[in-house]
Structure 1
Protein backbone atom coordinates (compact mmCIF):
# COMPACT_ATOMS: atom_id res chain seq x y z
CA UNK A 1 0.00 0.00 0.00
CA UNK A 2 2.72 2.48 0.98
CA UNK A 3 4.49 2.06 -2.34
CA UNK A 4 1.53 3.28 -4.41
CA UNK A 5 1.29 6.73 -5.98
CA UNK A 6 -1.84 8.71 -6.83
CA UNK A 7 -1.83 11.46 -9.46
CA UNK A 8 -4.60 13.91 -8.56
CA UNK A 9 -5.44 16.32 -11.39
CA UNK A 10 -7.43 19.38 -10.35
CA UNK A 11 -6.18 18.93 -6.81
CA UNK A 12 -7.37 22.28 -5.43
CA UNK A 13 -11.05 21.30 -5.58
CA UNK A 14 -12.70 20.63 -2.23
CA UNK A 15 -13.25 16.96 -3.05
CA UNK A 16 -9.66 16.57 -4.21
CA UNK A 17 -8.33 18.16 -1.02
CA UNK A 18 -10.37 15.75 1.06
CA UNK A 19 -9.04 12.90 -1.10
CA UNK A 20 -5.46 14.03 -0.44
CA UNK A 21 -6.07 13.69 3.30
CA UNK A 22 -7.69 10.28 2.93
CA UNK A 23 -5.13 8.86 0.50
CA UNK A 24 -2.15 9.99 2.58
CA UNK A 25 -3.76 8.64 5.75
CA UNK A 26 -3.85 5.25 4.02
CA UNK A 27 -0.15 5.47 3.18
CA UNK A 28 -0.32 6.55 -0.48
CA UNK A 29 2.01 9.09 -1.98
CA UNK A 30 0.08 11.84 -3.77
CA UNK A 31 1.15 14.01 -6.69
CA UNK A 32 -1.29 16.92 -6.35
CA UNK A 33 -1.51 18.93 -9.57
CA UNK A 34 -3.36 22.22 -9.96
CA UNK A 35 -3.11 25.75 -11.28
CA UNK A 36 -3.50 27.00 -7.67
CA UNK A 37 -0.23 25.69 -6.31
CA UNK A 38 0.11 28.35 -3.58
CA UNK A 39 -3.34 27.62 -2.17
CA UNK A 40 -2.67 23.90 -2.40
CA UNK A 41 0.68 24.27 -0.63
CA UNK A 42 -0.99 26.19 2.20
CA UNK A 43 -3.68 23.52 2.52
CA UNK A 44 -1.17 20.69 2.69
CA UNK A 45 0.96 22.47 5.27
CA UNK A 46 -2.02 23.25 7.49
CA UNK A 47 -4.34 20.29 7.00
CA UNK A 48 -2.39 17.18 5.94
CA UNK A 49 -0.51 15.42 8.75
CA UNK A 50 1.43 13.25 6.27
CA UNK A 51 2.58 16.27 4.24
CA UNK A 52 5.87 14.61 3.31
CA UNK A 53 3.85 12.19 1.17
CA UNK A 54 2.53 15.01 -1.04
CA UNK A 55 4.25 16.52 -4.08
CA UNK A 56 2.64 19.63 -5.59
CA UNK A 57 2.93 20.39 -9.31
CA UNK A 58 1.42 22.98 -11.64
CA UNK A 59 -1.21 21.65 -14.06
CA UNK A 60 -3.64 23.54 -16.28
CA UNK A 61 -6.35 21.29 -17.72
CA UNK A 62 -7.10 23.79 -20.51
CA UNK A 63 -3.45 24.23 -21.58
CA UNK A 64 -3.38 21.16 -23.81
CA UNK A 65 0.06 21.94 -25.24
CA UNK A 66 1.61 21.60 -21.77
CA UNK A 67 0.20 18.17 -20.98
CA UNK A 68 2.87 16.04 -22.63
CA UNK A 69 5.64 17.91 -20.84
CA UNK A 70 3.77 17.72 -17.56
CA UNK A 71 3.40 13.95 -17.83
CA UNK A 72 7.03 13.40 -18.91
CA UNK A 73 8.30 15.36 -15.90
CA UNK A 74 6.32 13.54 -13.23
CA UNK A 75 8.64 12.40 -10.43
CA UNK A 76 7.16 8.89 -10.75
CA UNK A 77 4.47 7.19 -12.78
CA UNK A 78 1.15 6.76 -10.96
CA UNK A 79 -0.70 3.63 -9.91
CA UNK A 80 -3.95 5.60 -9.65
CA UNK A 81 -5.07 8.70 -11.54
CA UNK A 82 -7.95 10.90 -10.36
CA UNK A 83 -9.32 13.63 -12.64
CA UNK A 84 -11.15 16.18 -10.48
CA UNK A 85 -10.72 19.44 -12.41
CA UNK A 86 -13.89 21.51 -12.52
CA UNK A 87 -15.31 24.83 -13.65
CA UNK A 88 -18.89 26.11 -13.41
CA UNK A 89 -20.67 28.84 -15.34
CA UNK A 90 -24.38 29.14 -14.65
CA UNK A 91 -26.59 28.14 -17.58
CA UNK A 92 -28.11 31.58 -18.27
CA UNK A 93 -24.63 33.10 -18.25
CA UNK A 94 -23.18 30.31 -20.37
CA UNK A 95 -25.90 30.80 -22.99
CA UNK A 96 -24.71 34.38 -23.47
CA UNK A 97 -21.00 33.82 -22.88
CA UNK A 98 -19.44 31.24 -25.16
CA UNK A 99 -16.04 31.73 -23.53
CA UNK A 100 -17.56 30.46 -20.29
CA UNK A 101 -19.19 27.54 -22.08
CA UNK A 102 -15.95 26.74 -23.88
CA UNK A 103 -14.02 26.84 -20.62
CA UNK A 104 -16.32 24.17 -19.18
CA UNK A 105 -15.80 22.07 -22.32
CA UNK A 106 -12.05 22.43 -22.00
CA UNK A 107 -11.81 21.66 -18.29
CA UNK A 108 -14.38 18.86 -18.04
CA UNK A 109 -13.89 17.11 -21.35
CA UNK A 110 -11.14 18.20 -23.75
CA UNK A 111 -8.52 18.58 -21.02
CA UNK A 112 -9.45 15.23 -19.53
CA UNK A 113 -9.21 13.48 -22.90
CA UNK A 114 -5.87 15.14 -23.59
CA UNK A 115 -4.06 14.11 -20.41
CA UNK A 116 -5.85 10.81 -19.77
CA UNK A 117 -5.14 9.61 -23.31
CA UNK A 118 -1.43 10.17 -22.67
CA UNK A 119 -1.60 8.32 -19.39
CA UNK A 120 -3.64 5.44 -20.79
CA UNK A 121 -1.39 5.01 -23.84
CA UNK A 122 1.81 4.91 -21.80
CA UNK A 123 2.25 1.15 -21.89
CA UNK A 124 5.63 1.50 -20.21
CA UNK A 125 3.79 2.36 -17.01
CA UNK A 126 3.00 -1.19 -15.96
CA UNK A 127 2.00 -0.02 -12.49
CA UNK A 128 -1.12 1.86 -13.69
CA UNK A 129 -4.13 0.10 -12.15
CA UNK A 130 -6.97 2.62 -11.98
CA UNK A 131 -8.33 5.86 -13.49
CA UNK A 132 -11.14 7.69 -11.70
CA UNK A 133 -13.12 10.63 -13.08
CA UNK A 134 -15.28 12.98 -11.02
CA UNK A 135 -18.46 13.58 -13.03
CA UNK A 136 -21.97 14.75 -12.11
CA UNK A 137 -25.63 13.78 -12.10
CA UNK A 138 -26.08 16.86 -14.26
CA UNK A 139 -24.73 14.74 -17.11
CA UNK A 140 -27.35 11.99 -16.79
CA UNK A 141 -30.18 13.83 -18.61
CA UNK A 142 -30.36 17.18 -20.34
CA UNK A 143 -32.37 19.65 -18.23
CA UNK A 144 -33.18 23.23 -19.05
CA UNK A 145 -31.50 24.66 -15.96
CA UNK A 146 -27.99 23.29 -16.53
CA UNK A 147 -27.71 21.55 -19.89
CA UNK A 148 -24.48 23.25 -20.96
CA UNK A 149 -22.58 22.24 -17.84
CA UNK A 150 -24.38 18.89 -17.92
CA UNK A 151 -23.40 18.23 -21.53
CA UNK A 152 -19.70 18.58 -20.67
CA UNK A 153 -20.08 16.10 -17.82
CA UNK A 154 -22.08 13.72 -20.04
CA UNK A 155 -19.28 13.78 -22.60
CA UNK A 156 -16.72 13.09 -19.89
CA UNK A 157 -18.74 10.16 -18.54
CA UNK A 158 -19.09 8.61 -22.00
CA UNK A 159 -15.37 9.02 -22.63
CA UNK A 160 -14.61 7.19 -19.39
CA UNK A 161 -17.06 4.43 -20.29
CA UNK A 162 -15.25 3.79 -23.56
CA UNK A 163 -11.84 4.10 -21.92
CA UNK A 164 -12.89 1.45 -19.42
CA UNK A 165 -13.62 -0.98 -22.26
CA UNK A 166 -10.41 -0.05 -24.06
CA UNK A 167 -8.27 -0.73 -20.98
CA UNK A 168 -10.10 -3.89 -19.90
CA UNK A 169 -7.56 -6.24 -21.48
CA UNK A 170 -4.78 -4.53 -19.52
CA UNK A 171 -6.73 -5.02 -16.28
CA UNK A 172 -6.86 -1.28 -15.62
CA UNK A 173 -10.07 -0.25 -13.85
CA UNK A 174 -11.88 2.95 -14.85
CA UNK A 175 -14.48 4.41 -12.49
CA UNK A 176 -16.75 7.43 -12.77
CA UNK A 177 -18.03 9.17 -9.64
CA UNK A 178 -21.48 10.53 -10.54
CA UNK A 179 -21.96 13.07 -7.78
CA UNK A 180 -24.96 15.10 -6.73
CA UNK A 181 -24.83 18.47 -4.96
CA UNK A 182 -21.55 18.98 -3.11
CA UNK A 183 -21.00 21.62 -0.47
CA UNK A 184 -17.98 23.31 -2.05
CA UNK A 185 -16.57 26.61 -3.20
CA UNK A 186 -17.95 25.91 -6.69
CA UNK A 187 -21.53 25.70 -5.40
CA UNK A 188 -21.22 28.45 -2.78
CA UNK A 189 -24.02 30.98 -3.21
CA UNK A 190 -26.27 28.66 -5.22
CA UNK A 191 -29.78 27.99 -3.98
CA UNK A 192 -29.56 24.22 -3.52
CA UNK A 193 -31.73 21.97 -1.32
CA UNK A 194 -29.96 21.48 2.01
CA UNK A 195 -31.18 17.88 2.60
CA UNK A 196 -29.44 16.79 -0.62
CA UNK A 197 -26.07 18.45 0.03
CA UNK A 198 -23.08 16.13 0.46
CA UNK A 199 -19.78 16.96 2.10
CA UNK A 200 -16.56 16.85 0.04
CA UNK A 201 -15.11 14.23 2.39
CA UNK A 202 -18.04 11.92 1.66
CA UNK A 203 -17.44 12.12 -2.08
CA UNK A 204 -13.70 11.74 -1.54
CA UNK A 205 -14.32 8.51 0.38
CA UNK A 206 -16.14 7.14 -2.68
CA UNK A 207 -13.07 8.01 -4.76
CA UNK A 208 -10.51 6.55 -2.39
CA UNK A 209 -12.53 3.36 -1.79
CA UNK A 210 -13.69 2.86 -5.40
CA UNK A 211 -14.32 -0.78 -6.28
CA UNK A 212 -14.47 -2.54 -9.62
CA UNK A 213 -17.82 -1.20 -10.88
CA UNK A 214 -17.93 1.64 -13.38
CA UNK A 215 -20.60 4.04 -12.08
CA UNK A 216 -20.37 5.08 -8.44
CA UNK A 217 -23.18 7.31 -7.10
CA UNK A 218 -22.41 8.42 -3.53
CA UNK A 219 -25.39 8.73 -1.20
CA UNK A 220 -28.60 6.69 -1.00
CA UNK A 221 -30.85 9.63 -1.95
CA UNK A 222 -28.72 10.37 -4.97
CA UNK A 223 -28.77 6.74 -6.08
CA UNK A 224 -32.57 7.00 -6.19
CA UNK A 225 -32.41 10.29 -8.07
CA UNK A 226 -29.89 8.85 -10.54
CA UNK A 227 -32.13 5.88 -11.29
CA UNK A 228 -35.20 8.10 -11.65
CA UNK A 229 -33.41 10.48 -14.01
CA UNK A 230 -32.14 7.65 -16.20
CA UNK A 231 -35.58 6.13 -16.75
CA UNK A 232 -37.89 9.14 -16.44
CA UNK A 233 -40.03 9.79 -19.57
CA UNK A 234 -39.02 12.85 -21.56
CA UNK A 235 -42.29 14.67 -20.85
CA UNK A 236 -41.53 14.46 -17.12
CA UNK A 237 -37.90 15.54 -17.57
CA UNK A 238 -39.23 18.63 -19.38
CA UNK A 239 -41.08 19.64 -16.21
CA UNK A 240 -37.93 19.58 -14.07
CA UNK A 241 -36.12 22.84 -13.30
Structure 2
Protein backbone atom coordinates (compact mmCIF):
# COMPACT_ATOMS: atom_id res chain seq x y z
CA UNK A 1 0.00 0.00 0.00
CA UNK A 2 1.25 3.48 -0.88
CA UNK A 3 2.12 5.94 1.85
CA UNK A 4 -0.46 8.64 2.47
CA UNK A 5 0.29 12.36 2.44
CA UNK A 6 -2.18 14.82 3.97
CA UNK A 7 -1.74 18.32 2.54
CA UNK A 8 -3.52 21.03 4.53
CA UNK A 9 -4.00 24.30 2.68
CA UNK A 10 -3.69 22.38 -0.56
CA UNK A 11 -4.71 25.22 -2.88
CA UNK A 12 -1.55 27.23 -2.28
CA UNK A 13 0.66 27.41 -5.38
CA UNK A 14 3.46 25.56 -3.60
CA UNK A 15 1.15 22.91 -2.17
CA UNK A 16 -0.35 22.08 -5.57
CA UNK A 17 3.11 21.58 -7.06
CA UNK A 18 4.09 19.40 -4.08
CA UNK A 19 0.96 17.30 -4.55
CA UNK A 20 1.93 16.63 -8.15
CA UNK A 21 5.42 15.55 -7.11
CA UNK A 22 4.06 13.23 -4.43
CA UNK A 23 1.60 11.70 -6.88
CA UNK A 24 4.30 11.09 -9.48
CA UNK A 25 6.34 9.35 -6.79
CA UNK A 26 3.41 6.99 -6.14
CA UNK A 27 2.12 8.45 -2.87
CA UNK A 28 -1.59 8.67 -2.11
CA UNK A 29 -2.49 12.29 -1.41
CA UNK A 30 -5.39 13.78 0.51
CA UNK A 31 -5.58 17.41 -0.64
CA UNK A 32 -7.52 19.45 1.92
CA UNK A 33 -8.62 23.02 1.26
CA UNK A 34 -11.56 25.39 1.16
CA UNK A 35 -11.01 25.72 -2.61
CA UNK A 36 -11.68 22.18 -3.76
CA UNK A 37 -12.90 23.22 -7.23
CA UNK A 38 -9.67 25.12 -7.90
CA UNK A 39 -7.58 22.08 -6.98
CA UNK A 40 -9.69 19.84 -9.21
CA UNK A 41 -9.22 22.23 -12.14
CA UNK A 42 -5.46 22.50 -11.55
CA UNK A 43 -4.96 18.73 -11.33
CA UNK A 44 -7.02 18.15 -14.46
CA UNK A 45 -5.03 20.77 -16.37
CA UNK A 46 -1.74 19.23 -15.26
CA UNK A 47 -2.98 15.67 -15.94
CA UNK A 48 -2.33 14.43 -12.41
CA UNK A 49 -2.02 10.63 -12.05
CA UNK A 50 -5.47 9.14 -11.57
CA UNK A 51 -6.54 7.04 -8.61
CA UNK A 52 -4.11 8.38 -6.00
CA UNK A 53 -5.69 11.75 -5.18
CA UNK A 54 -8.57 12.58 -2.84
CA UNK A 55 -9.72 16.20 -2.61
CA UNK A 56 -11.62 17.21 0.51
CA UNK A 57 -12.82 20.36 2.26
CA UNK A 58 -10.80 21.86 5.10
CA UNK A 59 -10.95 25.31 6.69
CA UNK A 60 -7.94 26.10 8.88
CA UNK A 61 -9.92 28.77 10.74
CA UNK A 62 -12.95 26.58 11.52
CA UNK A 63 -11.38 25.11 14.64
CA UNK A 64 -14.53 23.34 15.84
CA UNK A 65 -14.64 21.35 12.60
CA UNK A 66 -11.12 19.95 12.90
CA UNK A 67 -11.92 16.88 15.04
CA UNK A 68 -14.62 15.76 12.61
CA UNK A 69 -12.40 16.51 9.62
CA UNK A 70 -9.59 14.36 10.99
CA UNK A 71 -11.92 11.55 12.06
CA UNK A 72 -13.45 11.43 8.57
CA UNK A 73 -10.17 10.99 6.69
CA UNK A 74 -10.20 7.83 4.55
CA UNK A 75 -6.88 6.78 6.11
CA UNK A 76 -4.42 8.20 8.62
CA UNK A 77 -1.40 9.96 7.11
CA UNK A 78 2.25 8.97 7.06
CA UNK A 79 3.24 12.53 6.10
CA UNK A 80 1.47 15.81 6.90
CA UNK A 81 2.17 19.08 5.08
CA UNK A 82 0.73 22.32 6.47
CA UNK A 83 0.77 24.96 3.74
CA UNK A 84 -2.24 27.16 4.49
CA UNK A 85 -1.53 30.83 3.94
CA UNK A 86 -3.12 34.27 3.99
CA UNK A 87 -1.58 37.72 3.79
CA UNK A 88 -2.50 41.37 3.94
CA UNK A 89 0.01 44.19 3.75
CA UNK A 90 1.51 45.53 6.96
CA UNK A 91 -0.19 48.87 6.39
CA UNK A 92 -3.56 47.14 6.15
CA UNK A 93 -2.82 44.84 9.09
CA UNK A 94 -2.16 47.83 11.35
CA UNK A 95 -5.63 49.28 10.79
CA UNK A 96 -7.66 46.16 9.88
CA UNK A 97 -7.91 43.82 12.85
CA UNK A 98 -9.83 41.23 10.83
CA UNK A 99 -6.94 40.92 8.38
CA UNK A 100 -4.39 40.63 11.18
CA UNK A 101 -6.51 38.12 13.07
CA UNK A 102 -7.05 35.97 9.99
CA UNK A 103 -3.29 35.73 9.44
CA UNK A 104 -2.93 34.59 13.06
CA UNK A 105 -5.68 32.03 12.61
CA UNK A 106 -4.42 30.61 9.31
CA UNK A 107 -0.69 30.53 10.03
CA UNK A 108 -0.66 29.67 13.71
CA UNK A 109 -3.91 28.86 15.52
CA UNK A 110 -5.23 26.68 12.71
CA UNK A 111 -1.97 24.80 12.48
CA UNK A 112 -1.81 24.16 16.22
CA UNK A 113 -5.44 23.06 16.28
CA UNK A 114 -5.20 20.40 13.56
CA UNK A 115 -1.61 19.27 14.17
CA UNK A 116 -2.27 18.73 17.88
CA UNK A 117 -5.12 16.42 16.91
CA UNK A 118 -2.88 14.51 14.53
CA UNK A 119 0.05 14.00 16.87
CA UNK A 120 -2.10 12.91 19.81
CA UNK A 121 -3.87 10.24 17.78
CA UNK A 122 -2.40 7.12 19.36
CA UNK A 123 -4.07 4.89 16.77
CA UNK A 124 -1.85 6.25 13.99
CA UNK A 125 1.38 4.34 14.47
CA UNK A 126 2.77 5.08 11.02
CA UNK A 127 3.02 8.89 11.20
CA UNK A 128 6.60 9.63 10.17
CA UNK A 129 6.90 13.29 9.14
CA UNK A 130 5.30 16.72 9.55
CA UNK A 131 6.35 19.59 7.29
CA UNK A 132 5.32 23.22 7.75
CA UNK A 133 5.62 25.92 5.10
CA UNK A 134 6.84 29.02 6.94
CA UNK A 135 8.63 32.15 5.78
CA UNK A 136 11.85 34.10 6.08
CA UNK A 137 9.63 36.92 7.31
CA UNK A 138 9.42 35.04 10.60
CA UNK A 139 13.18 35.02 11.19
CA UNK A 140 13.55 38.68 12.18
CA UNK A 141 11.01 41.41 12.87
CA UNK A 142 11.12 44.07 10.14
CA UNK A 143 9.08 47.24 9.94
CA UNK A 144 7.67 46.41 6.51
CA UNK A 145 5.95 43.15 7.45
CA UNK A 146 6.19 42.47 11.18
CA UNK A 147 2.52 41.54 11.65
CA UNK A 148 2.64 38.83 8.99
CA UNK A 149 6.15 37.87 10.09
CA UNK A 150 5.09 37.43 13.70
CA UNK A 151 2.48 34.84 12.69
CA UNK A 152 5.10 32.88 10.76
CA UNK A 153 7.57 33.18 13.64
CA UNK A 154 4.98 31.69 16.00
CA UNK A 155 4.36 28.82 13.59
CA UNK A 156 8.09 28.13 13.25
CA UNK A 157 8.55 28.06 17.03
CA UNK A 158 5.62 25.69 17.43
CA UNK A 159 7.22 23.34 14.90
CA UNK A 160 10.57 23.58 16.67
CA UNK A 161 9.01 22.46 19.94
CA UNK A 162 6.95 19.83 18.14
CA UNK A 163 10.14 18.37 16.69
CA UNK A 164 11.54 17.90 20.19
CA UNK A 165 8.23 16.52 21.49
CA UNK A 166 8.11 13.89 18.74
CA UNK A 167 11.80 12.98 18.79
CA UNK A 168 11.32 9.87 20.94
CA UNK A 169 8.65 8.62 18.51
CA UNK A 170 11.09 9.04 15.60
CA UNK A 171 8.75 11.43 13.80
CA UNK A 172 10.63 14.04 11.78
CA UNK A 173 9.45 17.65 11.79
CA UNK A 174 10.72 20.07 9.13
CA UNK A 175 10.07 23.74 8.53
CA UNK A 176 10.48 25.24 5.06
CA UNK A 177 11.71 28.80 5.59
CA UNK A 178 11.00 30.30 2.20
CA UNK A 179 11.85 33.67 0.74
CA UNK A 180 9.86 35.42 -1.99
CA UNK A 181 7.71 33.01 -4.00
CA UNK A 182 6.04 33.84 -7.30
CA UNK A 183 2.47 33.08 -6.27
CA UNK A 184 -1.03 34.45 -6.00
CA UNK A 185 -0.19 35.71 -2.50
CA UNK A 186 2.66 37.89 -3.78
CA UNK A 187 0.98 39.00 -7.02
CA UNK A 188 1.00 42.77 -7.20
CA UNK A 189 3.77 43.21 -4.63
CA UNK A 190 6.90 45.09 -5.67
CA UNK A 191 9.49 42.34 -5.19
CA UNK A 192 12.97 41.94 -6.75
CA UNK A 193 12.69 39.64 -9.74
CA UNK A 194 16.12 38.15 -9.06
CA UNK A 195 14.97 36.86 -5.68
CA UNK A 196 11.62 35.37 -6.73
CA UNK A 197 11.42 31.57 -6.59
CA UNK A 198 9.00 29.38 -8.48
CA UNK A 199 6.45 27.32 -6.52
CA UNK A 200 7.73 24.09 -8.08
CA UNK A 201 11.22 24.82 -6.71
CA UNK A 202 9.89 25.20 -3.16
CA UNK A 203 7.74 22.10 -3.63
CA UNK A 204 10.82 19.99 -4.34
CA UNK A 205 12.25 21.07 -0.98
CA UNK A 206 9.09 19.78 0.69
CA UNK A 207 8.98 16.43 -1.08
CA UNK A 208 12.73 15.85 -0.71
CA UNK A 209 12.94 17.05 2.92
CA UNK A 210 15.63 15.27 4.89
CA UNK A 211 16.30 14.96 8.60
CA UNK A 212 17.25 18.57 9.37
CA UNK A 213 14.74 20.96 10.91
CA UNK A 214 15.20 24.22 9.01
CA UNK A 215 15.20 24.02 5.21
CA UNK A 216 15.89 27.27 3.33
CA UNK A 217 15.41 26.77 -0.43
CA UNK A 218 17.76 28.66 -2.73
CA UNK A 219 21.41 29.63 -2.27
CA UNK A 220 20.71 33.38 -2.19
CA UNK A 221 18.06 32.91 0.47
CA UNK A 222 20.36 30.75 2.58
CA UNK A 223 22.74 33.71 2.74
CA UNK A 224 19.93 36.16 3.49
CA UNK A 225 18.65 33.84 6.22
CA UNK A 226 22.02 33.88 7.97
CA UNK A 227 22.34 37.65 7.65
CA UNK A 228 18.87 38.18 9.12
CA UNK A 229 19.61 35.87 12.05
CA UNK A 230 22.89 37.46 13.09
CA UNK A 231 22.72 41.07 11.90
CA UNK A 232 23.26 43.47 14.85
CA UNK A 233 20.08 45.20 15.96
CA UNK A 234 21.37 48.67 15.05
CA UNK A 235 21.76 47.51 11.44
CA UNK A 236 18.60 45.39 11.42
CA UNK A 237 16.60 48.48 12.40
CA UNK A 238 17.59 50.05 9.08
CA UNK A 239 16.12 47.22 7.04
CA UNK A 240 12.94 48.02 5.06
TM range (shorter): over 0.9
Distance 1:45 1:65 in 2: 32
Which 5+ residue runs of structure 1 have no aligned equivalent? none
Q: 2: CA distance between counterparts of 1:29 and 1:150?
A: 33
- Partner SS, residue 21 of structure 2: helix
Listed one character per residue, the Cα deviations across residues 86-127 of structure 1 (whole Å, up to 9, x for unaligned) are 000100000000100000000000000000000011121011
Aligned position for 1:96: 95
Shift of residue 51 of structure 1?
3.1
* Conservation of the 8 A alpha-carbon contact between 1:45 and 1:51: no
What pairs up with 1:45-56 in 2 under 5 angstroms?
A: 45-56=44-55
In the alignment, what sits opposite 2:123? Answer: 124
Q: What TM-score comes out, normalization by structure 1 length?
A: 0.99
Q: Spell out the pairing of 1:80-159 with structure 2 (5 A cutoff).
A: 80-159=79-158
Equivalent pair of 1:176/1:215 in contact (CA under 8 Å): yes
Other structure's SS at 1:51 match: coil
- Please name the residue that 2:223 is paired with: 224
Per-residue Cα deviation, 1:29-58 (whole angstroms, up to 9, x for no partner) = 100000001111111222143032110000
List runs of 5+ in structure 2 lacking aligned partners.
Answer: none
Query: Segments of 4+ in structure 1 off by > 3 A?
Result: none
**Is 1:236 matched with 2:235?**
yes
1:134-173 deviations in Å (ceiling 9; x for gaps): 0000000000000000000000000000000000000000
Q: Report the counterpart of residue 32 of structure 1 in structure 2.
A: 31
Deviations along 1:190-223, one digit per CA (max 9) or x if unpaired, are: 0000000000000000000000000000000000
Task: Please list, as runs of the form range in 1=range in 2, the aligned pairs for 1:196-211 lying within 5 A after superposition.
Answer: 196-211=195-210
**Matches of 2:51 and 2:35, distance apart in 1:** 19
Q: 2:59 — aligned with what?
A: 60
| Separation (CA, whole Å) in 1 of partners of 2:129 and 2:48 | 25
In structure 1, what is the Cα distance between the partners aligned to 2:210 and 2:201? 15
**Cα displacement string for residues 161-187 of structure 1 (whole angstroms, at most 9, x for unaligned residues):** 000000000000000000000000000
Residue in 2 aligned with 1:173? 172
Q: Structure 2-normalised TM-score?
A: 0.99
| Mapped partners of 1:117, 1:133: distance in 2 | 13
Quick one: distance in 2 between partners of 1:51 and 1:158?
37
Question: Hey, what does 2:159 align to over in structure 1?
Answer: 160
Structure 2 distance, partners of 1:48, 1:232, is: 46
For 2:119 and 2:24, the matched residues in 1 are separated by 27
